[in-house]
Structure 1
């Protein structure tokens, strides 16, 4: 296939591709979009021709995304989400209604601090459409830099010239185990307690996992088994079923209590660092300015051990320093 010849992509093609991947079939995508199956097939073929690489593996009626298709799907979702926001804003301008807002957030913050902050706003300040997108840190930074998200809550490290960092903070990590787990009655969890346990933790090796590995490595602790998780709520759910000890930041366990688990402090420090960002050089609406401060204040009230960081710490995932008690 030849590479792209146009700087723009047809939104109908993107919509067809996202629908096919989301639903799993050409027929289902056609029904969802109110088009015929041949039209959906043609749109995706045209998109592949324009991009210069295949998006789908085809085996009769069965389809699956190629590796390039999986990567492009994430981009297409961001683009279409931004276009939906633009359309909503255009309608809001015509009626002088509060503008829609797009927030991209880590799952842990989307399930804890963000709902509390939105609930604390005056109803007149809340637009008719709020899109809270729960996603990975890298996608958050890209969405904010591309201006398809008004506000981002992401983990550290963070060093991107396309975004403005308004504040960064650190909260401690905690251990979560099932109520029936042998460690559930401990006052705190020590490194030795983890030596023979299956660990449930973030899969990203450059963010929270790095801080966990550094902390445990300082005590020569190497858990015998591991479950990788892509979000703290998922880690807690796995721990609740007795599958191991989840290491999560205290935001999720404080803001989103889960039954049948014990939440325990560590006797040593595993820091989780995060911050709030907007696009560099982008004027902020009064609502976004309000949210920036409210998110900081809510997290400080919600989580014991909350600490604001200075600018020199923003580009670092963690700075464990001494390994004494938190």
Structure 2
């Protein structure tokens, strides 16, 4: 198995055809076809279904794609680090963050760092919490900024914080005239919330149930930015985490505190026993300052007591279930 074979396979799936992949790679179409065939011979199974000019990945090809992409990306990052070491420059850093942070506070923190403190290469990737954690554990990312729970073995906690969820309402909504939105105000309204039942959605549902709130309609989504867009379009009132609410301004949407505390918890993690580049540590420091100054009600916890915080919010033994979340 050779790197050029993997690159040819990734190019085909990215471009959608061997002809387009050949243009991307500046190779001939027969050369790309040959590389794919050699790769299939090396690994012992077909990667592509071929039907004339139409190319689609096999089921095994789809599974193999993720592994190949991770390896090729990792080799690219290795080249970057080798160049930085040779030039005695700051090492590149890779940050994986859930969309709530990747769209707002991570870029803000980076922009407030002295430019000379940043490496010439910096990678910011948006991914679900579970993927961010696995990237750190697999050593394909230096840091992840994710929501809790996150108690997998092998993680070192650098930041552990929480803040209350908020209501997002359209500017034209009568609730926008209130300083604080009562949970009772949501009775009979169309509500917008998160889809993942193992994270924020569970606590939102518990709060609504505890106060006997019945929505006329519930719309769920996998990203708070989408919830804000739905709110701006008049689809309903959103109960969202404070990170997106205060990190990304959206015209036509007003953010109001709720009269009940629905906690949203997050942390910054790296792999245990993996020394962080100085630039990564500088980012963590700036990130703490940026979020603390912008999110009302933010509380920082002792990173060494992540298990106790998780139990207090999610219930005893929750940190043992984090891997399933």
TM-score (norm 2): 0.84
1: CA distance between counterparts of 2:96 and 2:253? 28
1: CA distance between counterparts of 2:60 and 2:214? 35
CA RMSD of the aligned region, Å?
Answer: 2.8
Note if contact 1:103-1:131 (Cα within 8 Å) is conserved in structure 2.
Answer: yes
Match of 1:312 among 303, 307, 314: 307
Q: What SS does structure 2 have at the residue aligned with 1:35?
A: coil
1: CA distance between counterparts of 2:238 and 2:315? 20
Alignment-derived partner of residue 35 in structure 1: 27
Hey, which of these two has a bigger chunk of helix by percent? 2
Q: Is residue 182 of structure 2 the alignment partner of residue 207 of structure 1? A: no
Q: Is residue 80 of structure 2 the alignment partner of residue 88 of structure 1? A: yes
Question: Over residues 239-283 of structure 1, what are the superposed CA-to-partner deviations in whole Å (9 max), with x where a residue is unaligned?
Answer: 212222222211222122111111122121221111001111101
Question: Over residues 182-209 of structure 1, what are the superposed CA-to-partner deviations in whole Å (9 max), with x where a residue is unaligned?
Answer: 4333333333333433333332221122
Alignment-derived partner of residue 144 in structure 2: 152
Change (3 A) 1:220 1:61: farther
Q: 1:211, CA displacement in angstroms?
A: 2.0
Larger mean CA deviation between 310-319 and 298-307 belongs to 310-319
Q: 1:140, CA displacement in angstroms?
A: 0.6
Alignment-derived partner of residue 244 in structure 1: 236
Match of 1:129 among 107, 121, 129: 121
Which residues in structure 2 correspond to 1:217-296 (within 5 Å)? 217-296=209-288
2: CA distance between counterparts of 1:200 and 1:47? 47
1: CA distance between counterparts of 2:240 and 2:19? 41
Q: 1:35, CA displacement in angstroms?
A: 2.6
Size of the alignment, in residue pairs? Answer: 313
Larger mean CA deviation between 113-122 and 139-148 belongs to 113-122
Q: 1:130, CA displacement in angstroms?
A: 0.8
Q: What SS does structure 1 have at the residue aligned with 2:175?
A: coil
Note if contact 1:55-1:69 (Cα within 8 Å) is conserved in structure 2.
Answer: yes
1: CA distance between counterparts of 2:41 and 2:101? 39
Question: Over residues 288-316 of structure 1, what are the superposed CA-to-partner deviations in whole Å (9 max), with x where a residue is unaligned?
Answer: 22222222222111101111234234545
Larger mean CA deviation between 88-97 and 239-248 belongs to 239-248
2: CA distance between counterparts of 1:45 and 1:316? 52
1: CA distance between counterparts of 2:45 and 2:217? 38
Alignment-derived partner of residue 322 in structure 2: none
Q: What SS does structure 1 have at the residue aligned with 2:297?
A: coil
Note if contact 1:178-1:239 (Cα within 8 Å) is conserved in structure 2.
Answer: yes
Q: Is residue 105 of structure 2 the alignment partner of residue 113 of structure 1? A: yes
2: CA distance between counterparts of 1:112 and 1:312? 27
1: CA distance between counterparts of 2:65 and 2:234? 34
Match of 1:139 among 128, 131, 140: 131
Q: 1:53, CA displacement in angstroms?
A: 6.2
TM-score (norm 1): 0.84
